Amino acid sequence: MAVRRIVANLYAADPAAARAFYGEFLGLDVVMDHGWILTFASGGTMTPQLGVASEGGSGTPVPVLSIEVDDVDEIYRRARAAGYEIVYDLSDEPWGVRRFFLRDPFGNVVNILRH
């Protein structure tokens, strides 16, 4: 038996509202749309991962998602310009990541990072 993928499912009263944040802002593609659920994906391949934590590191809350991007500084600038709530400011962490946390339109804390 092998785990092939892990999918995060976030509650949203209006899943279509996720298109602006996860689709347009983060650049993910809608790969499935049944009205009651939207699935977003990227063309890259990933190894399944699951994080289990007592905190988010550096005393932060545990984010519901961690999304690695190729240019965290650009996404940070875009997040500020779009008025998204920054929960944890852009930081270089001692374990080798540059990251910030923001709140998605549904209230979830999302970790945006670059290794």
List the domains of the chain with CATH numbers.
15-44+56-114 (3.10.180.10)
Residue 111 has a CB neighbour count (10 Å cut-off) of 23
Of 102, 91, 6, nearest to 61 by C-alpha is 102
- pLDDT digit string, tens, across residues 78-113: 999 999 999 999 999 999 999 999 999 999 999 999
The pLDDT, as a whole number, for residue 42 is 93
- Phi, psi (rounded to 5 degrees) for 7: -115, 125
| 105, 21 Cβ separation under 8 angstroms | yes
Tokens of 27: 């650049």
Whether the pLDDT of residue 73 is over 90: the answer is yes
Task: State mean pLDDT over 54-68.
Answer: 97
* pTM of structure: 0.94
Whether the pLDDT of residue 57 is over 90: the answer is yes
| 22, 28 Cβ separation under 8 angstroms | yes
